[in-house]
């Protein structure tokens, strides 16, 4: 496991950092130790950053880290829920990493009014990236890039979005793209193949268990949903 600090990020956070445009003002929501804001400020990539935390312990850790690095002039550590910690027009880019996709979507939804002049969102869900893709689609954010990587036996996806035409990325395969990621689907690297082979095996296992359960409408609906997902994955993986 990578020992993270403000000089060296984990592969997951490095992927997020790489997508932050140079010169953009940043808000990192759920910043934990503020490693990401400290790293990009020290590298001269961003002139100003906000590290937001809702939990007292991580908030104090972020505060201590920023003070220790003597970056208090450039990094504002703030305590608050989600996008409450930023003002309209204060930042150009928002990063939210290391949470579930549904939670990230809820944070964006709750703070929608703060996003009017934000140029880029960089979102790294630990699970359920589909929740984020659906939110982006419904809120006029265009997916402009994605990355999938494996670190310490876990697979992570990074989604990058800008305001624009949300349908632009999906061509004719909307449902497939929402589930698998339109950019990841095209690239189809080894980590992507591994992730979806594992998911498919898991769905097939659930499917065989459901086949033995009672035939209630709910069970039938779940069976249909799983079969559709398996078919989509098979079409993309070619097996």
Is 6's pLDDT higher than 90?
Answer: no
Write out pLDDT tens, residues 68-119. Answer: 999 999 999 999 999 999 999 999 999 999 999 999 999 999 999 999 999 9
Sorted by where each begins, the domain ranges of the chain are 11-170, 191-237
Give the model's confidence band at 218: pLDDT under 50 very low, under 70 low, under 90 confident, else very high: confident
Q: Which of 108, 109, 140 has the alpha carbon at shortest distance from 123?
A: 108
Q: Which of 191, 202, 209 has the alpha carbon at shortest distance from 229?
A: 202
Residues of 40-76 as b/e, b for ≥16 C-beta within 10 angstroms?
bbeeebbebbbbbbbeeebbebbbebbeebebeebbb
Strand order in the sheet with 154-163: 75-79, 49-53, 26-29, 93-99, 120-125, 154-163, 141-151
Is 146's pLDDT higher than 90?
Answer: yes
> Is CATH 3.40.50.150 correct for 11-170?
yes
- Predicted pLDDT of residue 85: 98
- Across 49-64, average pLDDT: 95
Is 196's pLDDT higher than 90?
Answer: yes
**Strands 26-29, 93-99: parallel, antiparallel or unpaired by DSSP?**
parallel
Q: Which 8-state DSSP code applies to residue 81?
A: S
């Amino acid at each position: 496991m990578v020992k993270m600090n403000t000089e060296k990020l984990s592969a997951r956070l490095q992927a997020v950092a790489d997508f932050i445009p140079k010169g953009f003002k940043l808000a990192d929501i759920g910043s934990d130790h503020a490693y990401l804001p400290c790293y990009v400020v020290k590298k001269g990539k961003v002139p100003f950053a906000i590290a937001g935390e809702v939990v007292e312990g991580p908030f104090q850790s972020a505060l201590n880290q920023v003070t220790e690095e003597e970056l208090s002039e450039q990094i504002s550590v703030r305590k608050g829920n989600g996008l409450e910690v930023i003002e309209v027009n204060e930042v150009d880019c928002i990063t939210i990493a290391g949470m579930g996709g549904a939670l990230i979507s809820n944070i964006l939804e709750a703070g929608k009014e703060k996003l009017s002049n934000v140029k880029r969102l960089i979102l790294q869900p630990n699970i359920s990236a589909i929740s984020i893709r659906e939110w982006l689609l419904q809120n006029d954010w265009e997916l402009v890039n994605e990355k999938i990587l494996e670190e310490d036996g876990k697979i992570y996806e990074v989604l990058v979005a800008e305001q624009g035409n949300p349908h632009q990325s999906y061509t004719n395969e909307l449902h497939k793209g929402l589930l698998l990621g339109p950019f990841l689907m095209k690239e189809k690297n080894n980590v992507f193949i591994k992730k979806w082979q594992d998911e498919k095996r898991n769905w097939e296992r659930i499917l065989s268990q459901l086949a033995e359960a009672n035939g209630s409408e709910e069970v039938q609906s779940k069976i249909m949903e799983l079969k559709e997902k398996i078919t989509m994955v098979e079409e993309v993986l070619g097996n």
